[in-house]
Amino acid sequence: MNIDYNKPVMSCFTKQPLDNNTMRAEQWVLKSTPEACSVWHHDGNQFIADYKNINKHVVVVGTELQCYHKFTEMFKNYAWQIQDSYLGDLKQDYVDAYEENGNEPVIINVI
């Protein structure tokens, strides 16, 4: 499915179009999600299926408008929910990754 990351959208807060000119690095702290894992069971000396919560922190590089569309895509396709977000430093590595991705938003995992 092709997404038009540059399709104009009006901000519901300012009633102005979202900026599509200035590149930025948005830091997204995603809500915890359960992930399947194996755990050594101390009584039966066996592995059993269990879940652990995964906290994920990513950087999304693009314009304000492109980051909005990327969030919409990730929410719809993967049920991502943001616990917190803030603007971070726009590093040259991020700019390079954005340009290599055809000037479309890119998600960078933070380890």
- Choice between 35 and 105, residue whose per-residue pLDDT is larger: 105
| pLDDT, tens only, 43-79 | 555 555 666 666 689 999 999 999 999 999 999 998 8
Are 106 and 60 in contact, with CB atoms under 8 Å apart?
yes
Closest CA to 25 of 100, 111, 102, 96: 96
Q: Which residues contact 75 (CB under 8 A, 6 or more apart)?
A: 81
Q: Which residue has the tokens 């922190």?
A: 57
